Structure 1
Amino acid sequence: MSSPGRTDEKPSSTRWPEILFMSTLAGFSMLLGFSATLAKTKKDCPKDFTKGMMASAELPESGTALAMRALGRGTLYAVGGFSIFCFAVWKAMGVKDLKEFRQRAGEALPRIPKSENPGRSDFESLRDFLQYCIDESEKSKKK
């Protein structure tokens, strides 16, 4: 699916390295964030951290087991619910394939008009961007 103004289209087979790179980057970022949060929690309150890791008389279920069960159920509900929603929309539209669905959805949804002056999008620094925002704000106040 190409954007109207794009001229640098690549075949879909050459996009796999890009997709793989971004997915790997996102995965490592999530893992690093989770690990950092876990390490900070363990450092701040080691007694409560170890108490939550193992089941005891006070807590019949460890925090890890509870979190895994909640994650599993949440994932099941989210994926299942969205799948049912998509299936219902698909059946309500009465389409046979994805191409027909895309065409019918495009006809049903309102068109977003292109703005004549999209504004500036290349800034050398944050200061340049903020100055542009101030200038645009002053222009709109004068109108």
Structure 2
Amino acid sequence: MEIEEMIKNESERRMTENKDPLEESRLHSLSLVDLFEEDHPDLVAALMVRLGPVRAALEGHGGSLVVFSGETEINQSGKKTLSLIVDLDGACVSCGAAPGTLKGIQDDLLTDDEIISIRFNAGMLEWFDEIQRDFLLKFGGVSFV
């Protein structure tokens, strides 16, 4: 069994044992654009349910997403989409695994057809020492603004 598959299976196990499937389904069915435009308190929870294995790592370490800012954009097919700048809170703020966590968050959220762009708050870079910051900027595969 591949490592990636093992991680996915373990993360799914952790999520299913700690989450209400009806609430997860409700959150997943909500429109992210509508939640954003209404400044609805369910936005972060709806984003979290769209995360894959990285969600287990975030929640397991007391972390969560924070929507720093964002805007709606009209995509090429005329549909409203979101361009978000996100941040992290909890223990995630200075973890050495942050580059992988950020990339996982970005990649998972970009699979949702209502999200066109995920960038990260540049203020996060202050959490890291110079070596971590340089590594993240050079090899992290994510953008900061």
TM-score band by shorter chain is under 0.3
- The structure with more radius of gyration: 1
Q: Which has the higher strand share?
A: 2
Instruction: Compare relative contact order (CA 8 Å, sep 6+) and give the higher one, 1 or 2.
Output: 2
TM-score between the two structures when normalised by the length of structure 2: 0.26
Q: Which has the higher helix share?
A: 1
TM-score between the two structures when normalised by the length of structure 1: 0.27
